[in-house]
Amino acid sequence: MVDLKYIGHSAFEFKTGDKSILVDPLVSVNPKYDYKAANITDIFITHAHSDHVGQAQEIAKEKKATINAVVEIANKLADKKVKTRPVNLGSWLNYDWGRAIFLPAYHSSSFEDGTYGGIATSILFDIEGVRIFHAGDTCLTPDFKAYKEIYRPNIALLPIGGTYTMDVEHAVVAAEWLGAKTVIPMHYNTFPEIQADLNKFLQLMQVNNTKCCILNPEEIK
């Protein structure tokens, strides 16, 4: 069983057995989430923008967790106290909890100081046979049709806030192209530029028979 928790913005925790994986750990967005209570072994980052790197370094130090990201991000965040696994696009990466693959996202990627952050990514996880696609920040791309054929994702985490990523209408098409039976929206309502109409999203999703779960980070206890 994989236990999926929405922390907020694009941050998720996947718990499998006694281990937890964090993705895009902007945990500061949710004061109710306590990463110290979780046994975090791996942190994944989709791209270098601060709303996705979040508190990765601090958490990696505290939990002795490994930061997994493209080379440019991993090298920038590595220091004596932070373990990293620098990777790039294209192959399955094996872990004791399953495997993951980094895929391209259509977005920019740079650190706050302007340093180049490598290619922006989406990440597909295969944990105990459950395939979870975290789209990162991206526009709609026909790549999703190929992912349906090749990876058959069960759960898709899709940005819907617009301005910097897909909006509601495009995310509905993305859900259909990916073929995931469960879709969880992310990257919306955190700041004014990414306000999304959730009712419209739910309405449009009903048309293609996909289960849409709106997870409320406020509910984390």
Q: Which residue has the tokens 């620098």?
A: 86
CB of 52 to Zn ion, least distance (A): 6
Determine which helix (DSSP H) or strand (DSSP E) holds 172, and give its type and residue range. helix 168-178
Which one, of 162, 151, 168, lies nearest residue 214 by Cα? Answer: 168
Q: How many residues are listed for the chain in this entry? A: 221
Q: Which is nearer to Zn ion, 51 or 176 (CB)?
A: 51
Q: How many other CB atoms are found less than 10 A from the CB of residue 113?
A: 6
CB of 109 to Zn ion, least distance (A): 10
Note whether 217 and 6 are within 8 A (CB).
yes
The amino acid occupying position 29 is V
Candidate segments 43-51, 61-69, 96-104, 194-202, binder of Zn ion by CB under 5 A: 43-51
Is residue 51 a contact point for Zn ion (CB under 5 A)? yes
Residues 6 or more apart whose CB falls under 8 angstroms from that of 78 comprise: 67, 84
Q: Which is nearer to Zn ion, 15 or 52 (CB)?
A: 52
Q: Which is nearer to Zn ion, 51 or 72 (CB)?
A: 51
Candidate segments 49-57, 117-125, 149-157, 192-200, binder of Zn ion by CB under 5 A: 49-57
CB of 19 to Zn ion, least distance (A): 26
Binding mask 125-144 for Zn ion (x = CB under 5 A): ------------x-------
CB of 137 to Zn ion, least distance (A): 4
Per CB under 5 A, which of residues 180..219 are in contact with Zn ion? none
User: Could you give the 3-state DSSP secondary structure of residue 144?
Assistant: helix
Q: How many whole angstroms separate alpha carbon 164 and alpha carbon 192?
A: 12
Is residue 24 a contact point for Zn ion (CB under 5 A)? no
Question: How many residues at the interface with Zn ion, by CB under 5 A?
Answer: 2
Q: Which is nearer to Zn ion, 42 or 51 (CB)?
A: 51
CB of 192 to Zn ion, least distance (A): 14
Is residue 42 a contact point for Zn ion (CB under 5 A)? no
CB of 28 to Zn ion, least distance (A): 14
Q: How many whole angstroms separate alpha carbon 133 and alpha carbon 122?
A: 7
Q: How many whole angstroms separate alpha carbon 91 and alpha carbon 53?
A: 22
Return the sign of the alpha-carbon dihedral for residues 130, 13, 97, 78.
Answer: positive
- Applying CB under 5 A, the residues found at the interface with Zn ion are 51, 137
